[in-house]
Structure 1
Amino acid sequence: MRSVWSGNLAFGLVSIPVKLGSAVSSHKIGFRQVHEADQGRVRYQKTCELDDQVLESGEIGRAFETPDDELVEVTDADLKALPLPTAKTIEISGFLDLAAIDAVQLDTPYFLAPASPAADKPYVLMREALAKAGKAAVGKFAMRNSEHLALVRPRDDVLVLQTLRWPDELNSPSDAAPKGKVSISDNELRLADTLIDALGEADLDSYQDEYAQAVEALVAAKIEGTELPAPSGDRGGKVVDLMAALQASVDQATGGAEDGEGGEAPGATVTQLSAQSRKKATAKKTARKAPAGKSAAKAASARTSTGRTGAAGKAGEKTPAKKAATKKAAAKKATRRRTG
């Protein structure tokens, strides 16, 4: 694990040497800016506004701009000398129930690892104590020229540190809430609840970044000179009749639309379910309708028998040739009885 910060985790009088490493990675697609005329890359140069001189990184420092536009230079040495205990220490000052943490406040996750073998025992002690209490530790630490509010919680065999937004950084949700009074009927709520149940639990491991895959396929097609991937159809739309859209969605999720029990209702545009959702819904419906015990065995036997006969007909059905042979054998038997 590549360390991005090292210091101590202070838990009362217990000090645990730790290091931080990123807990996530990104597969976000990055693009370069190019000159459309000749495909040359667009470069950015840092220049001084006083003399227009192009500067190298070693010639660039930092300064704090005051409200009256005065620039005060601040060096790396100045920042390292700040009288902050959190510069090299994550100070734990309290604890929270995990269920009480607002997801909106969560920011970047890091793995918190012991920095030396001597730190293993106090590290495991804190991990186990937090897991047993169902709590997360809250503290502060400084990294990359900023002080961060942090949450430390157990996850399997490690401690995870997740930076938090400061309370005054959270915007009020009032502007996002619907304006005016909105009435929801019992039937609408019932259908929405039915749809939630029909779609079932989400399996996060099964989700993939389809945008990144589509971009990669596009680039590969351009390189190979093959036909570009066809655009997908428009799956969005304005819902005109909420009840009709809900009912159509439930029918589709439970397989009702395939059995002629429902379908897309007039006056509503319903987003098509993904193949994975349809497969899950079909499996649920099959499980609900499957016969049990002897009935199940009988149904399976009938399906197997039907599968074997195929287009030729049902098992045991006599063809004209078989009928003639049977009739001839019966006549011979009757002749033998008379002569005997």
Structure 2
Amino acid sequence: MDVPTQAVWTGWITFGSVSMPVQLFPATRRHGVDLHEAHAADGSPVENRRVCRAEHREVDQREITTGYETPDGHMVALEEADLTALPLPSRHVIDVLGFVPVDGLDPILFSHAYYAAPHGQAGQRPYALLVAALTWIERAAVAKVTLRTRERLAAVWPRRDTLVVQTLLWPEEVREPGNIPSTTSVTGQELELASLLMAQMSDVDLADLHDDSAAALEQLAAAKESGGRLPQTAEPEPAVDLPAALRESLRRAAGQSRTPG
């Protein structure tokens, strides 16, 4: 399995009276280019210093701990041992609360994905059973899990014979769109043309897509250093005649589909 060897969570998955020891490993990795704070005048890196408000002095990393602010504004210092004693059942147990259709999960709720691996021989058979059962019923298990100090909703489903524990946002963390949606109606002709265009453009292999931001930043930095100019990307023009724009898009899509690869 191409995942880190260091587990981020060790505990149990339970459904009914069936329990299995598991470990969670990050299923994704950060990809991209880091940008840093710099002094605009000379480009020198800017340091961030940690200062104690009471003593008005910079403190070493070894002097820093986690703090919890009480409702009256008092800060309570918490050690790592305190956090591991957090009184939440989901700190050690991913207890399945029920099941929902996989396509019934709103993607806006998705947060972080982890692979759950059986931990020890005792977890092998119930793990395989849960993978097979979820595949059979085509549903995801809904549970709660605590990672560090945050209790999260989680969906558990199989991916390539492996259990994925996908943390979810709580419903109250999701904002409603409010007045964002357009109130303009569309015609039947526009809807038909758009549907034809979507069908024409439907095939895409995500594995062939790559992040171009690193190359773009490299070009930008090189241009800044050499005093050169980057080519400007043209912004699209709004479609005045929507049906005509759809027909032109269909014509281009059909031409591209006939072009030999």
Q: Normalized against structure 1, the TM-score is what?
A: 0.69
Letter of the aligned partner of 1:71 in structure 2? M
Q: 1:183 to 1:123 in 2, by over 3 A?
A: same
Taking the aligned partners of 1:229 and 1:27, their CA distance within structure 2 comes to 27
User: What is the deviation of 1:118?
Assistant: 3.0
3-state secondary structure, aligned to 2:86: coil
Instruction: Please say if 1:241 is aligned against 2:217.
Output: no
Residue correspondence of structure 1 range 75-154 to structure 2 within 5 A? 75-154=79-158
Equivalent pair of 1:217/1:229 in contact (CA under 8 Å): no
Taking the aligned partners of 1:81 and 1:144, their CA distance within structure 2 comes to 11
Greater share of residues in helix = 1
Instruction: Please say if 1:282 is aligned against 2:255.
Output: no
Residues 38-62 of structure 1, C-alpha deviations (whole Å, 9 max, x = no match): 4321100000112211111221233
Residue correspondence of structure 1 range 245-256 to structure 2 within 5 A? 245-255=245-255
Aligned to 1:325: none
User: What is the deviation of 1:209?
Assistant: 1.0
Equivalent pair of 2:113/2:167 in contact (CA under 8 Å): yes
Q: 1:60 aligns with which of 41, 64, 82?
A: 64
Q: 1:69 to 1:227 in 2, by over 3 A?
A: closer
Q: Normalized against structure 2, the TM-score is what?
A: 0.88
Question: Could you list the runs of 5+ residues in structure 2 that have no partner in the other structure?
Answer: none
Q: Which protein is bigger by CA-based radius of gyration?
A: 1
Residues 143-175 of structure 1, C-alpha deviations (whole Å, 9 max, x = no match): 121111111101112111100111111111233
Superposed CA RMSD in Å reads 2.4
Residues 197-234 of structure 1, C-alpha deviations (whole Å, 9 max, x = no match): 22232221221112223224555x569x8896842530
Taking the aligned partners of 2:157 and 2:92, their CA distance within structure 1 comes to 20
Q: 1:229 to 1:72 in 2, by over 3 A?
A: same
User: What is the deviation of 1:79?
Assistant: 2.6
User: What is the deviation of 1:237?
Assistant: 2.1
Letter of the aligned partner of 1:137 in structure 2? A
Greater share of residues in strand = 2
Equivalent pair of 1:27/1:212 in contact (CA under 8 Å): no
Instruction: Please say if 1:202 is aligned against 2:170.
Output: no
Taking the aligned partners of 1:229 and 1:120, their CA distance within structure 2 comes to 59
Question: Could you list the runs of 5+ residues in structure 1 that have no partner in the other structure?
Answer: 256-277, 287-340
Equivalent pair of 2:86/2:149 in contact (CA under 8 Å): no
Higher RCO structure, 1 or 2 (CA under 8 Å, sep 6+) = 2
Taking the aligned partners of 1:47 and 1:226, their CA distance within structure 2 comes to 39
Aligned to 1:258: none
Identity among equivalent positions (%) equals 35
Q: 1:63 to 1:105 in 2, by over 3 A?
A: same
Aligned to 1:157: 161
Residue correspondence of structure 1 range 1-340 to structure 2 within 5 A? 1=4, 2-178=6-182, 180=183, 182-218=184-220, 221=222, 230-255=230-255, 278=256, 281-283=257-259
Residues 304-331 of structure 1, C-alpha deviations (whole Å, 9 max, x = no match): xxxxxxxxxxxxxxxxxxxxxxxxxxxx
3-state secondary structure, aligned to 1:161: strand
Letter of the aligned partner of 1:113 in structure 2? A
Residues 239-265 of structure 1, C-alpha deviations (whole Å, 9 max, x = no match): 22222222222222223xxxxxxxxxx
Taking the aligned partners of 1:176 and 1:151, their CA distance within structure 2 comes to 29
Taking the aligned partners of 1:228 and 1:195, their CA distance within structure 2 comes to 40
Equivalent pair of 1:3/1:21 in contact (CA under 8 Å): yes
Taking the aligned partners of 1:145 and 1:87, their CA distance within structure 2 comes to 8
